Structure 1
Amino acid sequence: MRGTTVSPGATPCRAPQEGVLPVHRLEVPMPNAMPFAIGTFDTIGPMSRADFPHRHTFYEIVHVTAGTGAHVVDLARWELRPPHLGVIAPGQVHHWEGAAGREGSVVLFTEDFLLDHPGDRELLRRLGEQPWRDLDEATHDRTARLVADLDDEYRTGADGFATVLRALLHILVVRAARLPEPAAARPLTRPGAVAEEFVALIARNDPGLWSVHACAERIGVSGGYLTEAVKAATGSTPGRLVREAKVHEAKRLLARTRLTVRQVAGRVGFTDPAYFCRFFKRETGVSPGDFRRGRDVGGGNHHDHRLPSIVRPQPPA
């Protein structure tokens, strides 16, 4: 994930434009451009509290100690009943909804920062699939101490602090992976190396990789070998997983943007909108339009993320 760290003064993620999901890139202090940052919701900045759907090019771990409202990750809404530990992976769409009194710590880092413990990528991918964990009192206290050590090491910057930060982060990730999954979580099958790489590729939401042939070519194996490896590891075929990835991304765009169905179709690799509509209905049981109407409960303002101060006043009746 090269190039995801930008220096102060570079253009950060802005409030959303019509039909666009903003992408937030990690900003760290110079001259020490280490792809890692930690702080509170206030010290990290407004993007840690963003109330509009957006994506990251980095990982975010949040330790929420107080607050009300909800945290929305992709299509799931998690009520705030602190303490919680949350993990958002690169490419996931998330935002805070009606949050008030929110307190806690935010840890940000890119894949580059995992060089001492590359196996943490798989743990983080699994955590991102079930991103919201409740903490009991003992686990909360232990997590708070570990996060405090990370924060102190980061702010002090003593000799060898980067190595210590990587070690502490590794402990945090491993302990997070040990936590019980949410009640609605499904058991996950640990994939083999080829299947793991395939899953990581389609999770990038890159239409150029949304075909079995393209993924097999990128990994360096034959299509037949990829099919055998993925089916052995996951019980599903690569084609099935690619279709699920397309549907998941289409749902994200339909639920969180105002892109037209034609535009959504193009974003997920379909040149023919009619074919996309047939595909979506076959996979989900509803049309793209019906899915969007079902998500837009309570009127038409759910997708209007314009700031009130820049909305043109309506003429008096």
Structure 2
Amino acid sequence: MRNIVQQSYATRDEGSPGSLYLVATPIGNLEDMTYRAVRILQECDIIAAEDTRQSRKLLTHFEIPSKPMFSYHEHNKAASGPEIIRYIIEGKNVALVSDAGLPAISDPGTDLVSLAIEAGISVIPIPGANAALSALIVSGLPTERFTFIGFLPRERKDIVEQLQALQSAQGTLLFYESPHRVKKTLEILQEVLGNRKVTLARELTKRYEEFLRGSVTECLEWLTEHPPLGEYCLVVEAGSAEEELREKNAWWQELSLEEHVEHYERKGLSRKDAMKKTAGDRGVSKRDIYNALLADS
């Protein structure tokens, strides 16, 4: 039976370790900052920041007294993470901030949270602005169910593979993308998922905030005439149930069993796993696939 770890304000005793606060910062407009976030940054002992220079500007703007600040980012997390945890165990309260938005969303804060939980440290969220959810609620697309993907891989084949896995995803899809990659991403998205409805949200909460709503084709045409600027959130509608079923079944209909299995082997799967995937596509058992291939050999 798994051990249940309880965390609550009521269970913290005098002399116990400090806490790790995940403090949301503005995603563009400085007024995104909450009163509680300012208070926590004022009261904490140490600030762990993705970019200390950017965070010092934030502290200066809100007149928060200078205090020890640790650099914590993707390239130093293996060394910096345990050091931060050590300070918390000694009784220090640490606030983790990212460059923008919620820590641990598309940044290494996730790893620090895991270390804190393993060490029995309280992890406390200080909510605030988030780019993906801000884009979702103004997109006009369904909000009841959604999948946050964040940044797609850099290589085309890896992008295609990840999007293929999302073809049957239930609910709206949320992506982050840079201005110099957004057109390429939309082109591949159209190729793999089809000409779905999308919303492109850029420069959220900033002066030049902009929303572009239309089909993938329409958005690509717009971006051809209006070069992309600023960071983007892509909100993509889910495929219909009929479309998902058609996409799932159509591609292998003309393949023999052996060709179907070889298709997955070329993708790097073992013979056993390739037969299992083939069986899933065809709605039969793996034993049926094995026996049929054995009979044909």
TM-score by length of structure 1 reads 0.26
Structure possessing the higher relative contact order (Cα contacts under 8 Å, 6 or more residues apart): 2
TM-score by length of structure 2 reads 0.27
Larger radius of gyration: 2
